[in-house]
Amino acid sequence: DLLVSQIAAGEVVERPASALKELLENSLDAGSRAVAVELAEGGQKLIRVADDGSGIPGEELHLALARHATSKIADLDDLARVRSLGFRGEALAAIGAVARLTLVSRHASDPHGWAIRCEAGALSAKEPAAIAQGTRVEVRDLYFNTPARRKFLKSEATEYAHCEEAFVRVALSRPDLRFTLKHNGRLRWSLKPAEAAARIGELLGEEFIRASVAIDERAAGLRLFGLAALPTYSRGSRDDQYLFVNGRFVRDKLIAHAVREAYRDVLHHQRHPAYALFLELDPEAVDVNVHPTKSEVRFRDARAVHRFVFHVLNKALARPQA
């Protein structure tokens, strides 16, 4: 029912950037190689995400917009080792409850694509549509039917900045994919498939690369790789702290603490260390099912993770620099 969906939407779709994040994650989960994003007016007027992923079979299109319908989790065992970024099946339904959403998709098994619309929770009948294999989701007029929420949106520039940040996180997490971002018709980012370090350089700047140590260590089922900036990198701000766990951007207090301790031990005065770090481990050793927006995780063996991150970083930062 619409009210419940609108309340759920408040958690999933806090602002345009949260809707964009969900759409991008769906494109990644669909195995896309290229993802094109277009925004208008900071995302409030329009968020369009087009991908070349698996697409959705015509007969399942309406399910994509149903609450708690996910194609990604079949049972509780799946939940324990979730690899996809989404698994709750509520993002599209939640967005559709508070916007005008159009979903156009074509699966390889269908001779042509299909389109379906959802406006303020009301679903249209599906219609045939011309589209190559993949999916295009358009979200227009976010919060047009919930003025109380619309009031909380900030300026276009601020909402755009949040959208760009969501885009950057996803683009960092998948350097192997092609991404573009347009805002109000202007091309802001055009990223070709690249090595991780090249992608980081493109997004965070060559200066960040020059002032960083490269990390890549494995031990006992854990791998940490990426770049950590030295104090010679002067532009370090809170915003340059990127941490990914199994490809998922996270804000994790435990790892953030281990990183801070490693920096403090070596560099004493680094207040806001800048880094782009990727931690990989067995999906069963980490619980991503903690919070609806999924930026928190819980580790089965938190102490081992803390120790590993601290030691790897500590060692890398202490290395004599060339």
CB of 104 to ligand ADP, least distance (A): 10
The residue at minimum Cβ distance from ligand ADP is: 86
Interacting residues of 243 by C-beta distance below 8 A, sequence separation 6+: 249, 250, 251, 252, 255, 256, 259, 275, 277, 278, 279
Q: Is 87 in the site for ligand ADP (CB under 6 A)?
A: yes
- The two tokens of residue 109 are 């098994």
Q: Is 86 in the site for Mg ion (CB under 5 A)?
A: yes
- The entry of ligand ADP, Mg ion, none that residue 89 binds, CB within 5 to 8 Å by partner kind: ligand ADP
Q: Which residue number, 248 or 312, has a Cβ lying nearer to ligand ADP?
A: 248
Write the binding mask 122 to 161 for Mg ion: x where contact by CB under 5 A, - elsewhere: ----------------------------------------
- Where residue 117 falls (left for φ over 0; alpha for ψ -120 to 50; beta otherwise) is beta
Write the binding mask 95 to 114 for ligand ADP: x where contact by CB under 6 A, - elsewhere: --------------------
- The two tokens of residue 274 are 């800048």
Among 8, 16, 51, 203, binds ligand ADP (CB under 6 A): 51
Q: Per CB under 6 A, which region of 48-56, 245-253, 267-275, 277-285 contacts ligand ADP?
A: 48-56
Alpha-carbon distance of 131 to 112, in angstroms, equals 7
Residues within window 88-117 making contact with Mg ion, judged by CB under 5 A? 91
Query: What SS3 class is residue 251?
Result: coil
Q: H or E element: which one contains 227?
A: strand 222-229
Spatial strand order in the sheet of 212-219: 212-219, 222-229, 275-281, 241-245, 248-249
Among 92, 163, 228, 243, binds ligand ADP (CB under 6 A): 92
Query: What SS3 class is residue 39?
Result: strand
Write the binding mask 1 to 40 for Mg ion: x where contact by CB under 5 A, - elsewhere: -------------------------x--------------
CA distances for 191 relative to 9, 25, 182, angstroms: 31, 17, 12
Contact set with Mg ion (CB under 5 A): 26, 86, 91
